[in-house]
Structure 1
Amino acid sequence: MAYQSFRPSAPIIYDVGIIGAGVMGSATAYFLAKNNPDLKILLLEQFDLLHRKGSSHGDSRITRMTYPQENYTQLMITRAYPLWDEVEKEAKTRIFTKTGGLDFSRENNVEMRRLISVARKYGVGIEVLSPSDVRHRFPLITIPDGWIAVYSPSSGILNANKAVSVFQSLSAKRGVTLRDNVKVVKVKWDQFCYEVATEKGEIFMARKIIFTAGPWTRKLLQKQFGPRNDLPLQVQQTTIAYWKVDPALISAYHSSSFPVFINYEDPFLYGTPAHEFPGLIKCALHNGKEVDPDTRDFEPDVTGLTEGVAPFLQNFFTRVDPVPVRTESCMYTVSPDQDFVIDELPGHDGRLFIGCGFSGHGFKLAPVVGSLLAEMVTKGVGKLSPSSTRAAKHFTIQRLKKSSNL
């Protein structure tokens, strides 16, 4: 698209510009400003702040310490939970609601066995429950013979909208410039800084850029830098569904007495108790069809709901309606190995950075991602603290070379 550029007579040159103000970009802005009060920071969003078109909207995300992968469990214990607590205290508001969590699978499920082993290794409080244990502890849940459940009392729900809003408001209080409805169409190095041009013709200037554009990241990088900085990311459209419980059981399904849950068998799905809406539990498949974020249809995955989620709820839970009463569309940006991409973009002299590929399980780690990107952009990838170096080694672009054009 052609555009006419215009610049203010005395342009501000920002130290860091962040493109994308979902939870990752907003968390990055917050930690940059908190840890570097002298920096001039710009946070740009192509839609309204707190929009519902991407991956950071809604009122609930599961958070948990239990993972089959050691690195995520370590990050949740040592960084994510403490950082969320710090953010809540600074904002004087509650983002996290503890509900406990229940993970289901067959006894011989490899992922579940890894999860149990990792939890025990790192001291995560868990209980391994038999079908009769589950029925005694949670009378509304029935798992088949030959299955187990892992109960984790530290699991719960993060209020997604509130979290993004908190990061943005705290960033603004610390001097970050937030601009919404500014779609970036060009990023160009100009002698001593980047010129960031928007669809409306505005020009912003920044010495370093961080891309946290979620589902739009790959398209943005392709347009700006061509094949050399392409990343093998797949955008999936997922359907979040809310299911009505028997009115007599509303209190029993409430978040004060019912856990978040994940099914590690086919269909791989997850859910939350009645927390966002009275008498409605959330349950959704952890996948979706591949889409273009600019042209997707927002239509619910009826087949997935009727053939995947509904039978699970009918077989495992007590008196839940077989048809959802509410659905909403969301997107995942999935990397080939479903691990994050948090790194310096190669070939740009340490001036461009990226946070993407969160693969449907990143929200709970937003403070970790934000603090890690903030440290990368100010210190450089090679000068991170020991703990950040250990975290970053799992999220490099280098590991994706076999499936990309980098």
Structure 2
Amino acid sequence: MKPRQQPSVAVIGVGTMGSQVLHTLAAAGVPASGFEQFDIGHERGAAGGETRIFRVAYKEGGSYVPLLHEARRAWDRLGEQAGVRLLDPCGALTIGSAQDPDVRTVLDVSEEWGLDVERLDRREAARRFPQHRLFDDDLVLLDRQGGLLHPRRAVTETALLARKAGAAIHTGHTVTDVVETGTGVAVHYRRGDETEVRVEKYDQAVVCTGPWITRSVPSLAREVDVRRAVLSWFEAGPRWAPENFPVGIRRSGGENALSFFPDVGCGVKINLHVPKSAVDDPDRLDPVVEPEYVSRVSAAVSRCLDGLPARPALVRTFMEGYTADNHGIIGRDPERPNVLIMGGFSGHGFKLAPVFARSAVDLLLTGRTDVPIDRLSLARLA
């Protein structure tokens, strides 16, 4: 009996999810081709910003904890294969009032799952992490399994591993349509500045185009909002390196709500958690940051951190896709049965990308997965 032939798969978008899907497919011996409109590791999509937080004590809920354990192991394995660290195990802090819902969830999840989370008293927190100004009702929680991800490095190294395993990756290729043929899909694309549309046929396709997902899958325009995030970097130094200043989130009331990231060469990154504006066209992301925003983030940093400059050295804008419930989407396109959709990960998909990729490949090859992704199903949005 001849061995069963693996289906060919096109992966549209080779960023956070696409690089992981390509690597997982190629490692399984599946013929796979990736189409990326920019270069690998570009910063125009949702993987931008130099650093990402990894947490196991998860404010988004305990149902993610098994996936996060698996993801941490996966990031370590990928780093070993690549020969470079992708996840820096510096720990992750949660600081804020016990009355804050996110802090409460972190506490509850830690207790429910027996996580390695240390609760520091104020004296110990001040001794170990003097960079933080603590308010009277702040708790300080250190997730020892947390750490710092390097997104550009992770995407480029994972794509390289995919290539080494046999995947083809086409950069500068803009996919204009993925058409269901009944027996597979036809991928329509343009190369570079060419106007000619070329077509290649595959058995299946995965569409994971990040902020461009609603253009790739127009039916998702009602379900996914693309939003503009503003990130700021403050000049720092060794005192703010990962070994001295773990990544984390702050929930100390009002605009004292932010994510903070250690200095890995470009300063301390701050993401102020304020409402994000809508992005109507991801090809025309507004790069202009209003002075009023810079004043707000500077004031929050002054209140919450000790020893950074009064103003950021750099501010930049990025994009992410959000669903109404802040959980991503993984599932078959009901209008194109041979197309699998991945998108709308609402700002917290990067850390879970290796696990989400495994679930997607399971669905492609067998029609089912043991990864608990029911809350990410398309059916919930019907």
Q: Tell me whether the two structures share a fold, i.e. TM-score over 0.5.
A: yes
Matches within 5 A, 1:205-216: 205-216=201-212
Between the aligned partners of 1:274 and 1:41, the Cα distance in structure 2 is: 37
Between the aligned partners of 2:290 and 2:233, the Cα distance in structure 1 is: 13
Between the aligned partners of 1:370 and 1:163, the Cα distance in structure 2 is: 14
Tell me what 1:312 maps to.
Answer: 300
Does the 8 Å contact 1:73/1:119 carry over to 2? no
Tell me what 2:264 maps to.
Answer: 275
Counting matched residue pairs gives 367
Between the aligned partners of 2:302 and 2:107, the Cα distance in structure 1 is: 27
Give, as a single letter, the amino acid of the residue that structure 1 aligns with 2:369: L
User: CA, structure 1 residues 126+230, in 2 after alignment: closer, same or farther (shift >3 Å)?
Assistant: same
Q: Secondary structure at the match of 1:276?
A: coil
Are 1:34 and 2:40 counterparts? no
Are 1:392 and 2:373 counterparts? yes
User: CA, structure 1 residues 29+255, in 2 after alignment: closer, same or farther (shift >3 Å)?
Assistant: same
Tell me what 1:74 maps to.
Answer: 66
Between the aligned partners of 2:68 and 2:264, the Cα distance in structure 1 is: 23
Are 1:45 and 2:30 counterparts? no
Tell me what 1:166 maps to.
Answer: 157
Q: Secondary structure at the match of 1:26?
A: helix
Cα deviations across residues 12-63 of structure 1 (Å, max 9, x unaligned)? Answer: x97111111111011011111112x1x2111101112222211123431111
Matches within 5 A, 1:344-359: 344-349=332-337, 351-359=338-346
Q: Secondary structure at the match of 2:8?
A: strand
Could you state the TM-score of these two structures normalised by the residue count of structure 1?
A: 0.86
Give, as a single letter, the amino acid of the residue that structure 1 aligns with 2:23: Y
Does the 8 Å contact 1:28/1:370 carry over to 2? yes
Structure 1 gap ranges (5+): 1-12, 402-406
Between the aligned partners of 2:79 and 2:378, the Cα distance in structure 1 is: 32
Between the aligned partners of 1:315 and 1:23, the Cα distance in structure 2 is: 33
Give, as a single letter, the amino acid of the residue that structure 2 aligns with 1:73: V
Does the 8 Å contact 1:104/1:147 carry over to 2? yes
Residue 285 of structure 1: how far off its partner (Å): 2.0
Between the aligned partners of 1:129 and 1:242, the Cα distance in structure 2 is: 27
RMSD of aligned Cα (Å): 1.8
Which of the residues 330, 334, 348 maps onto 2:322? Answer: 334
Does the 8 Å contact 1:285/1:304 carry over to 2? no
Between the aligned partners of 2:295 and 2:158, the Cα distance in structure 1 is: 37
Between the aligned partners of 2:121 and 2:292, the Cα distance in structure 1 is: 31
Tell me what 2:3 maps to.
Answer: none
Q: Percent identity?
A: 24
Mean Cα displacement is larger for which, 19-28 or 188-197? 188-197
Residue 230 of structure 1: how far off its partner (Å): 4.7
Q: Secondary structure at the match of 1:151?
A: strand
Tell me what 2:200 maps to.
Answer: 204
Are 1:363 and 2:350 counterparts? yes
Structure 2 gap ranges (5+): 1-5
Matches within 5 A, 1:147-226: 147-199=138-190, 200=194, 201-222=197-218
User: CA, structure 1 residues 345+189, in 2 after alignment: closer, same or farther (shift >3 Å)?
Assistant: closer
Give, as a single letter, the amino acid of the residue that structure 2 aligns with 1:107: A
Does the 8 Å contact 2:40/2:155 carry over to 1? no
Residue 252 of structure 1: how far off its partner (Å): 1.8
Between the aligned partners of 1:171 and 1:161, the Cα distance in structure 2 is: 15
Give, as a single letter, the amino acid of the residue that structure 2 aligns with 1:61: R
Between the aligned partners of 2:178 and 2:130, the Cα distance in structure 1 is: 56
